[in-house]
Amino acid sequence: MTPGPEIVDAIQDPALAAAQNCDESRTGTWPRNLLALTCALMLSSLPAAAQVSLPPVNLGLTSFEDAIAFPGWLVEEIPNYYHASEWKDGQGNRISGANGLNSASALTHVAYISNKRVLGGFYAVEALVAVANVHPDTSFGPNFRTSGIGDLTLAPLGIQWTNTKLAGKPFFGRVMFDFVVPTGKYSDWQPVNTGNNVVSFNPYYAFTFVASDKLEISARLHYLWNSVNDQPFAGLGFKSVQPGQAFHQNFAVSCKVAKAVRVALNGYALEQITDNKVNAVPQPDSGGRVIALGPGMELHPAKSFWIYLNSYFEMDVRNRSQGMTYVLRLSKTF
């Protein structure tokens, strides 16, 4: 369930020096969509405004046939890789210099749908956790590598609807109330972490409309709220930071082309709706944005096992890196 790198627009020279002094550990790469990037960066071409990173969210990790589910257990392993060779500022302009980001991560997802009825659906719960390596490589800030376990996501309440109709066709829906707790690896003495040191509320509603025997349309719509981080990276010189609120979504249209094969056009989008805060003060023009599209494929080699392959190419980016995401998702039901 996860994510994306935001940047700090501009910081004072002492903070930059502290961030650069942290470039001593070079042991991995960063989880683009799953884990947090807390990174002090300097963009000399922008107004002096500090920005913090949004926690990672699910950007493209789920796609087609998303809401089709029934009572039982689901276990998923979701490796993904992200590569970017440029960063964009708050106006969508490319930041000059050699600026990149590479990441590799793996998310483990376990969900259970019970036979207990709630509001016409089935009561459901889920848990997610990721491990990752991290490496932003920029000319305007620290070049730092780290690795570790990310924050734990728990959904104590969810509802899965399986028997509804839309225009006489099967329509599946699911709502999950996800909470992210700060259990991941985090230190305020390093600019990049695999934990984020905030509590996040990230509920979603997913649906799948089965338009015909071959065609289906799916989407997952999220809202994101984040608490205050009162131990931000020491190099910033701030007492507290708070990532803004955001909406993000995944969407897909897929078609069955063979007995066990589907192909799809899929994508994701994120729009930050409130500014990040530093010392409780909103920072103008600090919101992130991204849209991505790409092809996908589903293989169904066994009755209770699915393989998903998805790729995404990002565009219309603000205050983030711009690159490509590749996702492998292995799903097994019991």
Instruction: Tell me the domain boundaries of the chain.
Output: 13-333
Token pair listed for 238: 């701030």
Q: Which residues of the chain have pLDDT under 70?
A: 1-51, 141-142
C-alpha span between 2 and 229 (Å, rounded): 19
Instruction: Convert the pLDDT of each residue in 78-137 to its tens digit.
Output: 999 999 999 898 899 998 888 888 889 999 999 999 999 999 999 999 999 999 888 888
What is the model's pLDDT at position 306?
A: 97
CB proximity list for 272: less than 8 A, separation 6 or greater:
54, 244, 245, 246, 286, 287, 288, 289
What is the model's pLDDT at position 13?
A: 32
What is the model's pLDDT at position 291?
A: 98
Work out whether strand 320-333 and strand 277-278 pair parallel, antiparallel, or are unpaired. unpaired
What is the model's pLDDT at position 141?
A: 66
Coil, helix or strand for 234? Answer: helix
- Identify the burial level of 168 via C-beta atoms within 10 angstroms of its C-beta, where 0-12 means exposed, 13-18 middle and 19 or more buried: exposed
> Quick one: CA dihedral 255, 327, 290, 282, positive or negative?
positive
What is the model's pLDDT at position 26?
A: 31
CB 108 within 8 A of CB 76: yes
| CA distances from residue 334 to 62, 67, 73, 92, 125 in whole angstroms, order as listed | 19, 17, 5, 45, 15
What is the model's pLDDT at position 127?
A: 98
Beta partners for residue 108, in sequence order: 77, 129
Residue corresponding to tokens 């955001």: 246
The CATH number of domain 13-333 is 2.40.160.40: yes
The amino acid occupying position 92 is G
